[in-house]
Amino acid sequence: MHPDVEAKVRPVLEEFRKKMLAQGYSESAVEMALKRAREYIEGVSRMADGKHPELVKRIELEILPEALEHSEKYLLGMYGVFAPKKATIYGRKYWEKKLKEVIE
């Protein structure tokens, strides 16, 4: 993820971490989910032309909510039947709202 984008979205990533830990997921699983989200973002943004860094940054910002939703589902699937009873998937709309709060 581009360093400028990483700095902008750090509060959203921290909120993801806090919410997942509060649900009862282990710290290592949450870190693995965040790593997966970053890799998802990098995979999509890699398809953009590197000669246009502003376009790459925009793609990374746009894809973040989807990547976090994907990571929530990854955690739930990884834990399977042993998932915390209070496990919740906030979804892309929730993370879009949080991202807008941070960026604006």
Domain ranges of the chain: 3-103
Whether this model's pTM surpasses 0.75: yes
Predicted confidence (pLDDT) at residue 16 exceeds the cutoff of 90: yes
Alpha-carbon distances of 70 from 49, 55, 79, 104, rounded to whole Å = 24, 22, 14, 24
Give 28's pLDDT tier (boundaries 50, 70, 90). Answer: very high
Phi/psi at 89 (5° precision): -105, 115
3-state DSSP helix/strand/coil percent for the chain, to nearest 5? 80, 0, 20
Rounded CA Rg of the chain: 14
The string of pLDDT tens digits covering residues 56-99 is: 999 999 999 999 999 999 998 888 777 777 788 899 999 999 99
Dist CA 12 CA 78 (whole Å): 22
